[in-house]
Amino acid sequence: MPLPNGVQVILAPNPSMMTGPGTNSYLVWGPGDRCVVIDPGPDDAGHLRAIATAAHGVIKAILVTHGHHDHDAGAANLRALTGAPVLAWGRAGVPATDQPLADGAVVDAGGRALRVLHTPGHRFDHLCFLLEDAGALFAGDLVAGVGTVVIIPPEGDLADYLTSLDRLLALPTLRTILPAHGPVVEDGPALLREYVAHRLMRERQVLAALASGPATIPMIVATIYADVDPALHAMAGRSVLAHLIKLEREGRVARAAGAADDGPWMLTG
């Protein structure tokens, strides 16, 4: 799947279990031969030089999807290299922010409109950017082109995350998704629907695991992640906690009196 017209990607050299092949730093070019950068990526001198070189020194702005290191750590040094301001949700999320971006704002990418969408869930400050003339969404870590996205409490909030996915699904012009990790996703809405369905399936599994009586998170993980490498069970436990916190807020589950996050947890009513 090719990138939309006027979009370039520079892959950062930070592959890992969490980042897949590495962070995608995108350049979006307008007709005026000026570009914006979306996600400078890690603070890696070679990577930041590659971005500045590809941009021929004409960067209008450095946009950051959220304040995780693999997205924002290079922001201050890319600003020093290019003189471009850093635009993000705010300093509480991305310390290098020069100009906060409000939900619904439009960033001028050299004559093309990038719509700002505040999409919390993976992190409170998460932004997506919709390149309106192409129906292309720069999705940060809301969804991934490879692997999956983790929602880890207390930073991650599953209820917010599902609301954000629904909001993106309601965008009438959305076609492709350009994630921060992995390749372009041709059918963006189909991927969003898959993510929603997957989370709802996990929620049903968590409720089913509690149907026979109270259980701790390790017990729930052993039941519903039986087919997953045990090395990943600790991470799966954080994901189960995200579900339990959402269900607790909805009054559908409760933890035993005085119990910490691991439980035991039980169904209510």
Question: For tokens 């999409």, what's the residue?
Answer: 119
Whichever of 182 and 263 has its CB closer to Zn ion, that residue is 182
- Could you tell me whether strands 265-267 and 253-255 are parallel, antiparallel, or unpaired per DSSP bridges? antiparallel
160 contacts Zn ion (rule: CB under 5 A): no
Angle formed at CA 2 by CA 112 and CA 19, multiple of 5 degrees: 90
181 binds Zn ion (CB under 5 A): no
CA atoms within 13 A on the CB side of 132: 13
Which position among 39, 72, 125, 141 is part of the footprint of Zn ion (CB under 5 A)?
141
Q: Which is nearer to Zn ion, 68 or 79 (CB)?
A: 68
**Interactions with Zn ion, residue window 57-116 (CB under 5 A):** 68
Residue 34 in contact with Zn ion, rule: CB under 5 A: no
Please report whether residue 125 would count as binding Zn ion according to CB under 5 A. no
Q: Is 141 or 160 the residue whose CB approaches Zn ion more closely?
A: 141
Helix axes 188-210 and 158-169, enclosed angle (nearest 10) = 150
Nearer to Zn ion, 60 or 181 (CB): 181
| Part in contact with Zn ion (CB under 5 A); list of ranges 137-145, 170-178, 196-204, 221-229 | 137-145
Q: Is 39 in the site for Zn ion (CB under 5 A)?
A: no
220 Cβ partners below 8 Å, 6+ apart?
206, 209, 210, 240, 265
- Binding residues for Zn ion, rule CB under 5 A, total 2
Contacts of 199 (CB under 8 A, 6+ apart): 158, 161, 162, 243
Residues forming contacts to Zn ion in the complex (CB under 5 A) are 68, 141
